[in-house]
Amino acid sequence: MIRVQREIFDVGAEMAALTKGRTDIGAVVSFTGLVRDFNDGSAVTGFSLEHYPGMTERELAKIETEAKARWDLQASLIIHRYGDMALGEPIVLVVTASSHRQDAFDAANFLMDWLKTKAPFWKMEKGEDGETSWVKERQTDIDAAKRWSADSQE
Q: Which does 120 bind (CB under 5 to 8 A by kind): its own copies, other proteins, none?
A: other proteins
Q: Which residues bind its own copies (CB under 8 A)?
A: 10-13, 15-16, 19, 21-38, 87-88, 99, 101-102, 104-105, 108-109, 112, 144
Q: Which DSSP symbol is given to 134?
A: E
**Distant-in-sequence, close-in-space partners of 122: CB < 8 Å, separation ≥ 6:** 49, 50, 51, 134, 135
- The residue within the footprint of other proteins, chosen from 2, 85, 91, 97 (CB under 8 A), is 91
Site string for other proteins, 71-90 (x = CB under 8 A): ---------x----------
Residue 44's alpha-carbon distances to 9, 56, 75, 92, in angstroms, are 22, 25, 35, 18
Is residue 135 within 8 Å of 122, Cβ to Cβ? yes
Q: Which residues of this chain interact with other proteins, rule CB under 8 A?
A: 33, 49-52, 54-55, 58, 80, 91-92, 112, 115-124, 134-138, 141
